[in-house]
Structure 1
Amino acid sequence: MTSVFDWLDTRADERRRAGLARRLHPRRVDSDLLDLAGNDYLGLSRDKRVTGASAAATLRWGAGSTGSRLVTGTTEAHIELEHELAKFCGAQAALVFSSGFTANLGAVTALSGKGSAIVTDAYLHASLIDGCRLSGADVAVMKHGDVAAVTHALKTRRTERALMVTDSVFSVDGDLAPLRELHEACRANGAALVVDDAHGLGVLGEGGRGAVAEAGLIGEPDVVTTVTLSKALGAQGGAVLGPRRVIKHLVDSARSFIFDTGLAPSSTTAALAALNVLKEEPALPEKVREVALTFSSRLREAGLRVTDPAAAVVSVLAPTPEQAVQWADDCRASGVWVGCFRPPSVPDGVSRLRLTARADLSDSDIERAIEVIVKHAPSAPPRT
């Protein structure tokens, strides 16, 4: 009997032949691997102030939130986190979601819809792409970083309402969107700007307030920011920040908020504790940026082709997908865990190692990482 899922085996074989089959690598609690693959930019996921707050919240509230935010899933910690995030980032209000992915889905779909237009950057994160696909809006994808193309698309649209949607720091190369220019284009053409600041919060801006703050767009009435709590804050979850009426609209309209179980109190409290650590130690963002610049300059000096990091993400380009995978495997076998990005996950089709800087890396950690990456580089890597 032919199975209705036989086609899955065919697709799996195609991915294996193309070197695109993915594998899960369980992270051991006692691992001695140097982690340059995760997004714990400030090293707060294991900070005792953060883990202690998380454990206490679990004992107080239980393991989960027990329901959607509109039923039983909202605790005092959720309200406090939203207040503190909004205050820290300079927004009127904030709304906490169960993840950065659901925050992006909620913001894009609830603020657009049929009869509206969305203009995006070509290197948009998958969560924003999915939000655009689900929105029912007319979507136009512009060349990466092309403000003139965005301006033209907004100016010539046929709809009254429009959004321009972009990452702040792009997750593959770590480059920064021209936020000021994009905002000018939006304001001149009656559009709102939605910025995913997942990789900016805790890394860029005064005290880590993010790329939107660094661009001078804090509190602008036509700017909405989404963030994740799982990167610089070392916890879990996501949030949308912006004008109070936008947040109210999301509570009433964002399906990924209304119909999703609320973020667990332990993660909510952990994120709040991490935010307090960031306030107490405002030098942490500068430290992580210094580490990223060190990785970039030292690896470039070794002859590798490396991106210029705007925040914590550093990409090291590889000649082929197969060599990128082997390079990452060799680094891992030598004790350094790096990310490996290759088609179709990378929009430009170029395979690379993806390194994430951390504020808690020691000088010896940095030297060890550079030594291992250079040692296992492909024999003929792309040159600068």
Structure 2
Amino acid sequence: MPATAIHVGLMSGTSMDGIDAVAVTFAEEGVRLLRTHQHPWPSELRERLQLAASRHPLTAADLAELDSAAGEVLAEAALVVLDGLKGEVRAIGSHGQTLAHRPGGRPPSTLQIGNPAIIAERTGITTVADFRRRDLAAGGQGAPLVPAFHEALFRTTDRYRVVLNIGGIANITRLPNNPGEPVTGFDTGPGNCLMDAWIRQQTGQTMDENGRFAARGEIRPALLERLLADDYFRQPSPKSTGTDHFLLDWLNARLPAEPIAAADVQATLLELTARSIAAAIDHRTEQVLVCGGGVHNPLLMQRLDELLPCPVVSTAMAGLDPDWVEAAAFAWLARQTLAGQAGNLPAVTGATGPRILGAIYPA
């Protein structure tokens, strides 16, 4: 496959704040971003997706309709970045929209919707999707999958790095500078999901821009202790989680009977994210590279800088804009699949071995 072949990546995370779409090329020197676009979910569809992800009951017909509707919007996002591109577009890698992720279930399960047949049909380009279920079938968590891309792009023998993605859920990738030491990683817990859900319930805003609402409040130590007592934080890795665990019902069950100022809850949720991330960072870490929406929350970044003994910087310092790392990763995973190469890291997910991920929908 020529290095100049273009790949498109589509990513919508647990925050459901929009679809990140990129067109990229890959070469030895790294990733070149050709086009980027954030495509909004139609408000009504977003609300339906959020309800579905929060354990709201669905009929099979409802789920089928959501799958097709999401597929159409994902195709729209791909068409925007494809418009005017010159060169061979080899494939689209679509993560889809996660509605459920329960690797510890009986049986383990995960569900990402966004019909990839529709994406292939609307764009005329081979589409690779459904990346998580093969790893799950092989005994893995099905997540996180981006660490293989982090290794390819950010690993160096110069320093021990950790890549921190703060989306709805936060996850880390440990990149030891010793080539003989395996890459590891896992979901640390909530990233933005609880903060987003709480401010939406309290004020109608979709996010706490620049952490201003949290900055008005005070951390409540007793509440923070109850939140950090969740069993997930003590589980050994490999592990992964989702917003079907860390959701408003989870928070409400831990709020005390006496009223707490909404801004105090927000401040405590931000501290929960920062503390759970910091607890997961290896003491050998010499640099933390941050990507995802959380990088734009200066209060959260300040707390991480205060809690960690090493520099905390954006992935832009290592050559890739933090807003597009995950979308670029799914373009890379599609490339891996078409090349017959594994896309998972068993040391990260716990799978019994490397696996070629995803299903291919030919043009």
Specify if TM > 0.5.
no
TM-score (ref. length: structure 1): 0.28
Q: Specify the structure having the higher radius of gyration (Cα).
A: 1
TM-score (ref. length: structure 2): 0.29
